[in-house]
Amino acid sequence: MNYAYDLHIHSCISPCASDDMTPNNIVNMAFIKGLKIISVTDHNSAKHCRVIERLTKQTGILYIPGMEVQTREEVHVLCYFKTVEAIEAFDQRLEVLKSKVKNKPKVFGNQFVCDENDEIIEHVEEALILSVDIGIDDLKRLVDDFEGAFVPAHINKNANSLLVNLGFIPESLNVGCIERFERSPIDKDILAKYRVILNSDAHYLESINEPINHLALERLTADTVIHFLIGKG
Ligand SMILES: [Zn+2]
Ligand SMILES: [Zn+2]
């Protein structure tokens, strides 16, 4: 069956996202739009995964735990996992590698963590806009360790992308799926070689995708989605 998805949405933890991107607002908007699979992929943070999983369970939407990691090369990579436990363990390993420079909310934006009632319970202190001190190869290995999917983000965008920052997709990364940025041209050979997903990269509620992109899956489970994103099945 075909399931409408949006696997790249930022919540109010991400400094660049609107403060209105609270867990309830995101899940409700996805539900109203008729999406069947979503992921909230904050910059270098998994702090909303648990609450968003809980909220999506009441809607029938399949939630895929995800994070948009910025590597030492300033490349953005979408990292997806089968369970919240897996992404939290992954996040734990990244913790020591994250920048300890304090966020400047007035310059970069707020980094709010909410509970399931959208009450603010924490302001993340470290600036999540900065790179994690991990190279792209090591990040791939770490994602593999937790049986996750490593999907280079907005690969043809002119900033923070594998193709612009590195100039190519290293074979050693064994990439199965890429995220395409719709507003820039992309080489046809790349489209032919990899699985491709299209997401909103929403920073505002109204930017969350309409049900226009679909994944063809046998079953609506996180295992099936991760399997697809790894490039198998
Ligand atoms: Zn990005
Ligand atoms: Zn993003």
Residue 233 predicted with pLDDT over 70: no
The Å distance, Cα 23 to ligand 2 centre, comes to 16
Q: Separation of 9 CA from ligand 2 center, angstroms?
A: 7
Q: Where is 9: in which H helix or E strand?
A: strand 2-9
> Residue 32: what residue type?
I
Q: Residue ranges per domain, the chain?
A: 2-230
* pLDDT > 70 in the chain, percent: 100
Distance 43 CA to ligand 1 centre (A): 8
Strands 120-123 and 112-114: antiparallel
Name the residue with tokens 């949405």: 9
The vertex-174 CA angle with 40 and 85, nearest 5°, equals 35
pLDDT of residue 183: 86
Q: Which ligand lies nearest the alpha carbon of 67?
A: 2
Give counts: helices (H), strands (E), the chain.
8, 11
DSSP code, position 57: H
Chain segment 8-37, per-residue pLDDT in tens: 999 999 999 999 999 999 999 999 999 999
CATH 3.30.1490.20 fits 2-230, yes or no: no
- The mean pLDDT of the chain is 96
pLDDT in tens, 96-143: 999 999 999 999 999 999 999 999 999 999 999 999 999 999 999 999
Instruction: Judge whether 92 and 82 are in contact, CB under 8 Å.
Output: no
> Beta strand 66-70 with 37-43: parallel, antiparallel or unpaired?
parallel
Residue type, 28: N
**Residue 45: pLDDT above 70?**
yes
Map residue 123 onto helix, strand or coil: strand
C-alpha 66 – ligand 2 centre gap (Å): 11
